[in-house]
Amino acid sequence: MSEKPQTGEIFGIPYNFERPSMKRLLSAYWQPGEGMLTKKPFGVGYTLNLANWRSWLVLGVAGLLLYQQQSGEEGDVDTDAEDEDSEPVEVMVE
């Protein structure tokens, strides 16, 4: 029985199922001079290259969106009371 390949590409998306080493893990997330995305050290797809400034921008925006979502959930009190005061909406489907 032939052994399946541990690394490669399928439909242009890289995969790697070899046992990861510490060196490979660290080097996958820090590659100066490379683009914003790098191949994952284990699994399928791409990950952020933390040596690229664009990756930090993406992480900052994601953090702000998460903070905004969580602070918005704490501020919601009772939205059903607002719905009772509003008038019904007529929807016409043709």
Distance CA 56, CA 78 (A): 37
The domain tally of the chain equals 1
Q: Is residue 37 part of a domain?
A: yes
List b or e across 12-45, with b for residues whose CB sees 16 or more CB atoms inside 10 angstroms. eeebbeeeeeeeeeeebeeeeeeebebbbbeeee
Mean pLDDT (whole number) for 11-34:
89
Q: Is residue 2 part of a domain?
A: no
- Above pLDDT 70, what percent of the chain? 85
Q: Is residue 88 part of a domain?
A: no
Q: Which three-class secondary structure state does DSSP give residue 19?
A: coil
- pLDDT class for 66, splitting at 50, 70, 90? very high
- pLDDT class for 49, splitting at 50, 70, 90? very high
**Domain enclosing residue 15, as ranges:** 7-74
